Structure 1
Amino acid sequence: MKIRATALLFDNDGTLVSSLESVDRCWARWAEEYGITAEQFGKVELHGRPAAEIAADLLPAEIVPEAVARIEDLEVEDVPNGGVHLLPGTRALLDALPADRWAVVTSATRRLAEARLAAVGILPKTLIAADDITRGKPDPEPYLLGARALGVDPADCVVFEDAPAGLRSGRAAGMTTVALTTTHRAAELDADLVVEDLSALSVQVTDGGVEIARRD
C-alpha cells in the first residue's frame, strides 16, 4: 500500500516520542494534589486531549485554570528527569523530509511540547499546540490549522496518530490517517493504515510530494 501526500502532520506524544513515564508520574501527583480518586480518573479519556479539557471533566470550573497551569509546570519540570524518548523510526523518517513538508500537531501546550521535543533533538519548523486552538482533538480544528500553516489542502495531508481522539480529528479534517499501535491496540484504532510505529514505514520525497509505503 502506498499513500501519496503533499504534507505530513504528526501528533507528538505516542507518535514521535514516548513520554508515558513522565505523564504517569505527573498526572498521579496532580490528581493527588487535587483530591481526585483513581475511580474518577479512570472514567476520563486522557490520551490525546488537551489538559484543559481533562481538568474541566474532573474539577469545578473556577479552579480549572489554576489546575491546568499546575499540570503544565509539573510536566515541564519533569522533562529533565527522563521518561521522554524518541520512538522507533522517528529520527529517520523526519530526517528524510523537507522542513516545510511536515508539522507537529499536539494536544500539549507549546511550552510543554517544545520542552519534550528539545529533549530529544527535534525542532519542527511548524508546531500547532493547545495554545493555538479553541477546540481540541477529536475536533478537526487542530489538523485543519496544521494544514493551513503549511499552505496545503487538507485533502493532501496525512495524519500520524496513536490515539482514537487524534484519528477522529484527522478524519474529520478530511485527511488520510495512519495509526501507530504504540499506546493502543490495533482494534481500537480506526485508520486508513495501521502499523506498529514509524519504523514500519518508508518515505520518498518527489517533486509532487511525499510517498509513504509500508516496509516489506
Structure 2
Amino acid sequence: MSKQSAVLFDLDGVIIDTELQYSMFWKTIEKKYQLGIENFEQLIKGMVFSDILSQHFSHLPKEQQKEIERESHVFDIQLEIKLIPDVLDFLSELKNVNILVGLVTSSNNAKLIPFFQKLPIKHLFNTVVSADRIDFGKPHPMCYLLAAKDLGIDPSNCIVFEDSRNGIKAGNAAGMQVIGLSTTLSAESIQNDCIKVISDFRSFHLPF
C-alpha cells in the first residue's frame, strides 16, 4: 500500500480482545429483560449503545433503560483489557512508515477516556472516531467515511480491520477494503465479505 493510504481499526475484537466479555454481558442483559432474541449478543456486535437501546429496549420504562445504561457504563469501566496478539507492533510499524492510522469505534468517550488512561496508545492514531461524533452507527458507513475525511484520504484508499458483521458491512458500504479478524465470528462466515481474514497480527506485516 502507498503512503497516500490509511488504515482504520475497530477497537473491540481488533485491538483489544473483549468479545467474550461483551458476549457474556449482553447475554445476561438479554435474559434479564426477557427479549427472547436468539444470539442477541452477535446481532448487536459493532452497534453503538444508543442504537442497541432504541432498537431493542425502547419498550421498557425509562428507568429500566437508564439502568441498562448504568450497567453498561460500569461494565466498560471494569472491562479487562487484553490486547490482540502483536497489534501494537503492527500499529507501530504503520506509524514508522508514516501511514495514516485511525481508530473507528462504536464506543463513546465515556469508555474511551478511561481506556486510554489504562492503555496509553492514543498517540498511535491520527484520528479517533467514536460514537459521540456520528449520527448513525455501524452498519451505516458514516463512521468510516468521517475517518477518511479527517485524514484527507479517499475511501477507496482505506483499509479497514473489523471483526463484527455490522463493522464489516460498514467498511464495505464506505467503499473501503476490509480485512476481517476471526476473533468474534468464524473465518468461514466472513471470508466472502473481506479481502483477507486473519486470526490476529502475528506474522502480519507490511506490505499486505
Q: With structure 1 as the length reference, what TM-score do the two structures score?
A: 0.80
State yes or no: 1:201 paired with 2:204: yes
Instruction: Report the CA distance shift for 1:122/1:149 in structure 2 as closer, same or farther (over 3 A).
Output: same
Q: Number of matched residues?
A: 198
Instruction: Report the CA distance shift for 1:152/1:53 in structure 2 as closer, same or farther (over 3 A).
Output: same
**Counterpart secondary structure, 1:194:** strand
CA distance in 1, matches of 2:202, 2:37: 36
> Greater shift after overlay, 91-100 or 164-173?
91-100
Q: CA RMSD in A?
A: 2.5
Number of the residue aligned with 1:58: 56
1:113 positional shift: 2.8
CA distance in 2, matches of 1:91, 1:22: 21
Q: Which stretches in structure 2 are left out of the alignment for 5+ residues?
A: none
Instruction: Report the CA distance shift for 1:24/1:103 in structure 2 as closer, same or farther (over 3 A).
Output: same
Superposed CA offset, 1:39-76 (max 9, x none): 33634612111111112232126638635632442223
Question: Is the CA contact (8 Å cut-off) linking 1:162 and 1:181 kept in structure 2?
Answer: yes
Number of the residue aligned with 2:152: 151
1:149 positional shift: 1.1
**Counterpart secondary structure, 2:205:** strand
Question: Is the CA contact (8 Å cut-off) linking 1:51 and 1:68 kept in structure 2?
Answer: no
Q: With structure 2 as the length reference, what TM-score do the two structures score?
A: 0.82
Report runs of 4+ in structure 1 exceeding 4 Å deviation.
Answer: 28-32
**Counterpart secondary structure, 1:85:** coil
Question: Is the CA contact (8 Å cut-off) linking 1:15 and 1:162 kept in structure 2?
Answer: yes
> Greater shift after overlay, 58-67 or 11-20?
58-67
Number of the residue aligned with 2:107: 108
CA distance in 1, matches of 2:157, 2:172: 12
**Counterpart secondary structure, 1:178:** strand
1:122 positional shift: 1.8
> Greater shift after overlay, 16-25 or 170-179?
16-25
1:198 positional shift: 1.9
Superposed CA offset, 1:19-42 (max 9, x none): 23542454456556xx41273363
Q: Percent identity?
A: 26
Q: Which stretches in structure 1 are left out of the alignment for 5+ residues?
A: 204-211
